[in-house]
């Protein structure tokens, strides 16, 4: 029970990586507030975990609503007595090449993927500082934040910003015992990656992944558990890549000698 006695707040927690993180956290003893805009998904997850006697509550809100976020964080502390862990995984997709991307789509993705991560982290840190017991902030970035993702310029830009934001939080809030880290997943099978259901796309992705498979939400949730727990008590300002080796394998795809048997 690595998180016994701790309370977590997870945005984008209704499905995909956020939902699996909620499952893992509750299984490890944490009390969890799940926040998501999708009421149906959030309710289904809450019912699922309540049936296992998990200590979970849910809030339906738009993470770009700063007043609603501040209120939800305060209510989580009131319900569970503390705020020890925050996971920012909310995102909205707006694919498109930069030359064609509308200003509205650009702003929406940056607002949800980067600005809301800043707001949730700022308001959570205030509560953690008042508690005087520190905490762990985990921000979901992407390997697309480490390398440009053609056709997803706003996404790559937001995710790159999340990495730097995490480092900035870590250094500014270290004196209060608050750690902040980013997780950079590769292609993970979630509702946002429905294209992986195409056998040809899936096979192609597996072929270029050094570990030979598509990632699953539990792969990322395990990384989040590590960063949330005391196992990582001396880890901060770090971007943990969970991508099966894709980002590091660029030389595998260049013409000429690959140094493989």
Measured CA distances, 52 to 1, 45, 99, 196, 217 (Å): 15, 11, 49, 30, 20
Q: Which fold has domain 7-253?
A: Rossmann fold (3.40.50)
CB 216 within 8 A of CB 200: no
Q: Which two tokens stand for residue 196?
A: 């992986």
Question: Per-residue pLDDT for 258 more than 70?
Answer: no
CB 177 within 8 A of CB 133: yes
**Per residue in 227-260, is it b (16+ CB within 10 Å) or e — as a string?**
bbbeebeeebbbbbbbbbebeeeeeeeeeeeeee
pLDDT at 201: 85
**Per residue in 79-92, is it b (16+ CB within 10 Å) or e — as a string?**
ebebbbbbbbbbbb
Q: Is 149 a catalytic residue?
A: no
CB 63 within 8 A of CB 69: yes
Render pLDDT for 28-82 as a digit per residue (tens, 0 to 9): 999 999 999 999 999 999 999 999 999 999 999 999 999 999 999 999 999 999 9
CB 15 within 8 A of CB 41: yes
Establish how many alpha carbons lie within 13 A of residue 113's alpha carbon, considering only the half-sphere containing its beta carbon.
27
Establish how many alpha carbons lie within 13 A of residue 124's alpha carbon, considering only the half-sphere containing its beta carbon.
31
| β 31-36/7-11 pair status | parallel
Domain locations in the chain as residue ranges: 7-253
Render pLDDT for 112-170 as a digit per residue (tens, 0 to 9): 999 999 999 999 999 999 999 999 999 999 999 999 988 988 999 999 999 999 999 99
155, 176, 226, 251: the catalytic one is: 155
Render pLDDT for 156-214 as a digit per residue (tens, 0 to 9): 999 999 999 999 999 999 999 999 999 999 999 887 777 788 888 898 889 889 999 99
């Amino acid at each position: 029970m690595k998180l016994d006695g701790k309370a977590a707040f997870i945005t984008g927690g209704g499905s995909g990586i956020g939902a699996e993180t909620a499952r893992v956290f509750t299984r490890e003893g944490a009390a969890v507030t799940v926040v998501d805009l999708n009421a149906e998904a959030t309710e289904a997850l809450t019912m699922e975990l309540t049936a296992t006697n998990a200590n979970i509550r849910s809030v339906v809100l738009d993470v770009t609503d700063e007043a609603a976020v501040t209120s939800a964080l305060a209510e989580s502390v009131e319900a569970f007595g503390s705020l020890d862990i925050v996971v920012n995984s909310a995102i909205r997709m707006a694919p498109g090449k930069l030359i064609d991307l509308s200003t509205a789509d650009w702003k929406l993705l940056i607002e949800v993927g980067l600005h809301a991560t800043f707001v949730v982290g700022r308001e959570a840190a205030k509560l953690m500082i008042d508690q005087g017991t520190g905490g762990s902030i985990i921000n979901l970035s992407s390997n697309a934040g480490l390398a440009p993702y053609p056709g997803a310029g706003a996404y790559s830009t937001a995710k790159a910003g999340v990495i730097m934001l995490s480092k900035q939080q870590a250094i500014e809030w270290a004196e209060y015992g608050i750690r902040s880290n980013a997780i950079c997943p590769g292609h993970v099978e979630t509702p946002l990656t429905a294209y992986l259901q195409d056998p040809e796309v899936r096979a192609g992705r597996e072929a270029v992944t050094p570990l030979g498979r598509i990632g699953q939400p539990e792969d990322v949730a395990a990384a989040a558990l590590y960063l949330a727990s005391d196992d990582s008590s001396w880890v901060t300002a770090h971007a943990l890549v969970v991508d099966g080796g894709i980002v590091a394998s660029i030389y595998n795809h260049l013409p000429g000698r690959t140094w493989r048997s």
